[in-house]
Chain A
Amino acid sequence: MTLESNLARLLREGHFAVTAEVGPPKGASADPLLQKAAALKGYVDAVNVTDCQTAVVRLSSIAAAVHLKAAGLEPVVQMTGRDRNRIAIQSDLLGAYSLGVRNLLCLTGDHQRFGNHPEARGVFDLDSIQMVAMVRRLGDPGEFLCGEPIRGERPRFFVGAVENPFAGPLEMRVRRLEKKIEAGAEFIQTQCVFDLERFRRFMAMVREHGLHRRGRILAGVTPLKSVRMARFMRDQVAGITIPDEVLARLENAADPAAAGVSLCVEQISELRKIEGVAGVHIMAIAWEQIVPEIVRRAGLYPRPAQ
């Protein structure tokens, strides 16, 4: 069992990190997850496991993370505040740490209204920022949210949060990022970047505030597989903007999927040039097999040793 997060070490050593995302299956077997994971192995430094994303019931993110770890991948457990109050979150995190999980991504969570149990009561006891602060305190000084000391080993997670540079005024986004970092977020994964122009402006403001030095920023990217998917993401997924020229490139391509991959590779090389971008987070939704090709073509293969 590694004692430290590999992702944390790589970022600290100045490597340009590569993470990817997998969604656990909607059944009680880890096989589908492990199939996806097999494709990613060796191509990414860590793999995010989503926590019932879009509020659809799936195999638990912590259990999935343990499966991934056994398969030789470093997991990043996503934890949302939608389904658990502060007691359940802290308890699950003690358990996750005891099972070898070292990376944690804190999110408020997608609203249950869009999931497969819209009748569920949303918990939202903690928002993402409050969760980050709580988790950092679990590690140091080693106390629960209530102030009681932790007995024995403390969970010292490498704690991350997300930020969406494309939602609302930039200045407000940067201020919220600052709050996340002040709460103790050590790494940040952003919403997928399609609008590089806006992302550059975002990063300029991030640098002005020195936030890139306090938290490692991993820019999100998503390969677009088809025009339909691109339109769906633009029109239906909250917080995603896809500029017209990006869409046009797909529309005019003989092979839109190939164009989507090329676009993604180009985006990564552009993102690498931006000061303060410490890595990329590849969200290839239901298209995990494409990640190796993207990583190779982006010149990010081989990955540094774990």
Chain B
Amino acid sequence: MIVAEAKPFAEVAGMIGGCRRLLVVACAGCTAVCGVGGVRQAGELAAALRIHFRLKGLELETEVTGVTRQCEPEFVGELAEAVARCGAVLSFGCGVGVQFVADRFAGVPVFPALNTRFAGGFTVSGAWEERCRLCGDCQLHLTGGICPLTRCAKGILNGPCGGVQDGRCEVGWDVPCAWMLIHERLAALGRTELLRPIRPPRNWAHTSAGPRRQGVSTDDSGK
């Protein structure tokens, strides 16, 4: 899933500066699951913002609501009346959600409450961790189910580099070297022969102009 974190309060307060009425929209999708974008967090931030502005002698009205997923136009459409009432939106969606809200309500400023960080999950080490760079060319069958593009600090495809020590990555000793993990896992599976061929440079050419697309209504060939 998409993992996000709350933006610093001062940054959010700064961006909504001139607003008098604000619709604060939670998302029940990924950002709620990773504990930053649910109705509770939206309500708490709304309250904090109101107090912040009141202390400055300014009045901010907030209305807190939520949608199932901000990355779907159908759900975003449910916000129409509230958006019309408030005239500005603070979104607790990921970067996708923020943009879908902005797309739907062209005349209304939309502000992000979160920093969208990566595609990952909650690991045994007790932290949210990136697991996929969304590169569009999955090679996990060759690397023991461990993604070097994501988990090696240099994205090396023929690793490990000469900096690994005691299984740790030279770029951060608190992180295991992805290539050591790959070696160990393939050794355990008796499949180290997968490591012999030289992996060629990645093909980054799969983007059409701008965002990647897929589906019936679009054409990825760029024609």
Interface residues in chain A, defined as those with a beta carbon under 8 Å from any beta carbon in chain B: 82, 86, 108-109, 111, 113-114, 122, 124-130, 133-134, 145, 162-164, 167-169, 172, 175-176, 179, 182-183, 191, 238-239
Q: A86-B201, A172-B183 are in contact. Are A238 and B163 (CB under 8 A)?
A: yes
Across the interface, do B158 and A176 meet the contact criterion of CB distance under 8 Å? yes
Across the interface, do A130 and B160 meet the contact criterion of CB distance under 8 Å? no
Across the interface, do B163 and A239 meet the contact criterion of CB distance under 8 Å? yes
List of B residues within 8 angstroms of A108 by Cβ: 154, 156, 161
Shortest distance from the beta carbon of A173 to any chain B beta carbon, whole Å: 8
Q: Which of B159-213 contact A (CB under 8 A)?
A: 159-165, 167, 170-172, 177, 180, 183, 195-196, 198-202, 204
Across the interface, do A124 and B156 meet the contact criterion of CB distance under 8 Å? yes
Is B136 an interface residue, CB under 8 A from the partner? no
Interface residues in chain B, defined as those with a beta carbon under 8 Å from any beta carbon in chain A: 153-165, 167, 170-172, 177, 180, 183, 195-196, 198-202, 204
Shortest distance from the beta carbon of A234 to any chain B beta carbon, whole Å: 11
Q: A130-B200, A238-B170 are in contact. Are A168 and B160 (CB under 8 A)?
A: yes
Across the interface, do A172 and B160 meet the contact criterion of CB distance under 8 Å? yes
Shortest distance from the beta carbon of A159 to any chain B beta carbon, whole Å: 14
List of B residues within 8 angstroms of A167 by Cβ: 160-165
List of B residues within 8 angstroms of A111 by Cβ: 153-154, 170-171
Across the interface, do A125 and B163 meet the contact criterion of CB distance under 8 Å? no
List of A residues within 8 angstroms of B154 by Cβ: 82, 108-109, 111, 122, 124, 127
Across the interface, do B158 and A129 meet the contact criterion of CB distance under 8 Å? yes
Q: Does more than half of chain B's interface fall in helix, strand or loop, or is it mixed?
A: loop
CA distance A114 to B172 in the complex (A): 10
Across the interface, do B163 and A175 meet the contact criterion of CB distance under 8 Å? no
List of B residues within 8 angstroms of A182 by Cβ: 198
Across the interface, do A168 and B167 meet the contact criterion of CB distance under 8 Å? yes
Interface centre among B159, B160, B162, B164 (most CB of A within 10 A): B162
List of B residues within 8 angstroms of A113 by Cβ: 153, 171-172
Shortest distance from the beta carbon of B149 to any chain A beta carbon, whole Å: 9
Interface centre among A134, A162, A239 (most CB of B within 10 A): A239
List of B residues within 8 angstroms of A175 by Cβ: 195-196
Identify 14 new A-B residue pairs, CB closer than 8 A, beyond the known A134-B201, A238-B165.
Answer: A108-B161, A111-B153, A113-B172, A124-B154, A127-B157, A162-B162, A164-B163, A167-B163, A172-B183, A176-B160, A179-B196, A238-B162, A238-B163, A238-B170
List of A residues within 8 angstroms of B160 by Cβ: 167-168, 172, 176
CA distance A167 to B162 in the complex (A): 6
Shortest distance from the beta carbon of B64 to any chain A beta carbon, whole Å: 35
CA distance A6 to B161 in the complex (A): 29
List of A residues within 8 angstroms of B196 by Cβ: 175, 179
**B204: nearest chain-A partner, CB-CB:** A125
Across the interface, do A191 and B162 meet the contact criterion of CB distance under 8 Å? yes
CA distance A267 to B144 in the complex (A): 40
List of B residues within 8 angstroms of A172 by Cβ: 160, 183
List of B residues within 8 angstroms of A238 by Cβ: 162-165, 170
Across the interface, do B153 and A164 meet the contact criterion of CB distance under 8 Å? no
CA distance A178 to B186 in the complex (A): 18
List of A residues within 8 angstroms of B153 by Cβ: 111, 113
**A132: nearest chain-B partner, CB-CB:** B198
Q: A111-B170, A175-B195, A238-B165 are in contact. Are A145 and B201 (CB under 8 A)?
A: yes
